[in-house]
Amino acid sequence: MNFLQVLLDFSNCTILYKKRKYLVTALDFIICGIYLALTAGIGLYVGFKRKYSDDSEYYLAGRRVGIFAIGISVMATAFSAINYLAIPTEIAEHGLYVILAFPVFLLVTIPVAYSVIPFFCRQRQTSAYEFLEQRFGLKVRLLAGGLYIFWQLSLMALILVASSRILFLLSGVPVPWLIAILGLTAGGCAVIGGLKAVIWTDVLQFFVIAGSIALVLIVTANGSDSGIIAGGLELGKLKPFLPFDSQVLSPDPSVRMTLWSVFTGTFVMFMARYGADQSVIQRYAAAGSIAKARKMFIWNISAALFCLIMLAMFGLALAHFAHLNGMAGKPGLLVMVKLLHRLPNGVNGLVVAGILAAAMSSLDSGVNSIGVTWQRDFQHRLISVRGNTILHKMLESTVFTIISILLALVILVCFKKHSIFVMTARTINALGSPLLVVVGAGMLPVRLRPVWSGVFWGGLGGIFFSIIFCLSVDKLAVHYYAAVNFVATAAMVIIVHFWCKLRLWVKGR
């Protein structure tokens, strides 16, 4: 799926911006200001009300937050501004191919609910990668922790850049200012309030995201002569279902999107998200028990599917709007900006707030989870820090927030072509697969578990292979990158494992 290329190609939209007045009025700025004030207020309220006595209070919210709030928080964490913008534009241009991935949410529920959640809940550890030291040693634990920090910082930087670009087109606020505002507001909540503040701001952000999408659908549906789905059928945007596209069943790996590429690639990506991502595993521990964590996960899946279905409807509405206004064949993001230009005052403000919420829900969780990984996997094991207080944790989280902002500015200045952004996104997706292999190896039963050198050197080789593969191979369906990287990393782990076993056998003789 190559919709990020369209999402991040802003040249046409910039021309449009220069020829018009700002889309956002004073009322819209007030709405956005209220949203930002509420977000900051939650962080300040939770931070100053609760005294954090230990890591469990700060990083796991004392394991006393309700399952509904945690489930919504997991969904909001995974739902970035890229999803908010990319799914509707993808559907407006190409049809409903992207929703082939929706059933994978249900498929991934089985291994997550019956394997991943029980395993990590029994560990009762703050860091998702702490158990790897018990299985394979400190080197493997540091490999997983370092990979996660780099993965999360890169993702945060990309989200900052992508969301700031579209917000610039809507508001006229310079992109560097938007990057700083987004990063500091989201990071500030995570720094001051810990995981509890992150969870409750995520709940607020979920309702803002869902409300903004629903409002746009209501406004656009009222202005349509036919229903959104009927209009999509007339324009051929219900493909590959109506009419049926036989290419969707093609085994050719170069076909843009097929049932096989979507199912395999999305399954690996979802397993990396729900089975190896510190920000999600942290929520399992915060739930307090296996039963609560499972219920929390069901809330997450339900909320995610609800928002994704609404975004799909939004995409059909965009296609109908483009047809009525002579913009058929234009980039989806250009159509979205034009559509938002037609919305009543105040509605734009809620849409901008929705994009802010989609970005900040991922950013605040990223800052908090990176802080956990650094504290538990590196500082506690490698660095002797006197007086390791909550103030130190806040200071370190602030540093990571600033790093992500600086990294976003570097991407903004140095990589101006959209293809570089696509490569960056591929690399981010690539890093999830090796991490899943390393974590998954530690979860295997003892008789199937590889030796530490197999996991370390195989995982390290998988990282380099994944990055090189994603940067050098272009003619492949985007979903296959995650699957290929997973298989390649797993193969390297197995090869190194048997090589080590063979050497021991030869020496034994």
> Is residue 341 situated within a structural domain?
yes
Q: Model's pTM, two decimal places?
A: 0.82
> Is residue 425 situated within a structural domain?
no
**Burial environment of residue 46 by CB neighbours within 10 A (0 to 12, 13 to 18, 19 or more):** buried
* Those residues with Cβ within 8 angstroms of residue 26's Cβ, 6 or more apart along the chain or in another chain: none
Q: What is the pLDDT of residue 111?
A: 92
Residues in the chain: 509
C-alpha Rg value of the chain to the nearest Å: 23
- Say which CATH number the domain at 330 has: 1.20.1730.10
Give how many domains the chain has, as a whole number. Answer: 1
> Is residue 502 situated within a structural domain?
no
Q: What is the pLDDT of residue 4?
A: 39
Q: What is the pLDDT of residue 487?
A: 94
The mean pLDDT values, 10 residues at a time, for the chain of 509 residues are 38 40 66 79 68 56 67 75 77 84 88 91 82 90 89 78 74 76 69 69 80 79 62 76 83 84 88 88 81 87 86 85 77 76 75 77 76 80 60 64 68 50 57 90 87 90 86 79 91 91 75
> Is residue 192 situated within a structural domain?
yes
Q: What is the pLDDT of residue 140?
A: 92
Q: What is the pLDDT of residue 418?
A: 44
DSSP 3-state assignment of 257?
coil
> Is residue 401 situated within a structural domain?
yes
Neighbours of 506 (CB within 10 A): 8
Q: Supply angle C-alpha 466, 470, 472, rounded to 5.
A: 115
> Is residue 470 situated within a structural domain?
no
Q: Which domain holds residue 116?
A: 3-410
> Is residue 497 situated within a structural domain?
no
Q: Is 315 within 8 Å of 213 (Cβ atoms)?
A: no
Q: What is the pLDDT of residue 319?
A: 83
* Residue with token string 């521990």: 285
> Is residue 282 situated within a structural domain?
yes
Which DSSP letter does residue 212 get? Answer: H
CA distance 256 to 251: 11
Q: What is the pLDDT of residue 174?
A: 78
